[in-house]
Amino acid sequence: MKIFIDTANVDEITKYADLGIIDGVTTNPALMATEQRTAIDIIHEIVKIVDGPISVEVVSTEAGRMVAEARHLDSLHENIVVKLPAIPAGFEALNVVVREGIKVNFTMIYTANQALLAAKLGATYVSPFVGRLDVTSTGGAELIEEIVTIFDNYGFETQVLAASMRNSIYVKYAALAGAHAATIPPAVLEAMIDSEMSRMSLDGFLEVWETLPEESKASLFDGVEE
């Protein structure tokens, strides 16, 4: 499963890109606004850090304006993927821009039927909001399974990009359900990496190691330099 980071914070993106675990980035207007910087400057920095899909969202709710914004975003860099919302105007805009070769992340998906129509129109990704669905007592993982099955049934090339990953359990569920990718906030990525049990196990091993005579410990790593 591809791992995207869901943030517009350049420092966080750099941190996890250097670690080698992210394949792309997703942003949205709220994440951009949080940074208190010009959005265009943020985008120009991100594309230099990550050589992979960079999702950037339109802000209009009118189809014609969405198309214009999508064309502009697409012109900024070859790795830009335009995010369009799953509303009627979004479907209308999707039908236009994919015919022009613009890559689209069709976002805010809450039903398998929305995903089916988006795939039929040629979206590159569909983004079901797993965490938000679970808040309303609807199974987010089940929705991913439904979408993956539908796409497999008909050979759609559209990929399922699981979104609204509110904790690391959601990421696991998305992977088990067959999502092609998940976009994950930095705090959740950190929780996936770090485990208290791993630290406890390591402490136990090192505690025993420290009981060895110094010459025994030193002999193992003689000559090792940083």
Q: How many CA atoms lie within 13 A of 65 on its CB side?
A: 7
221 beta partners: none
- Which domains, ranges and CATH numbers included, belong to the chain? 2-194 (3.20.20.70)
Q: What percentage of the chain has pLDDT greater than the value 70?
A: 97
* Mean pLDDT of the 24-39 span: 96
Q: How confident is the model at residue 135 (pLDDT cuts 50, 70, 90)?
A: low
pLDDT digits (tens, 9 = 90+) for 143-168: 999 999 999 999 999 999 999 999 99
**What pLDDT, on a 0 to 100 scale, did the predictor assign at position 140?**
80
Active site residue 48: no
**Which of 205, 206, 108 is CA-nearest to residue 161?**
108
CA 163 to chain centre: 7
Residue 190 has pLDDT above 60, yes or no: yes
What's the first-to-final CA gap in the chain, in angstroms? 33
Catalytic residue among 15, 83, 103, 172: 83
**What pLDDT, on a 0 to 100 scale, did the predictor assign at position 134?**
62
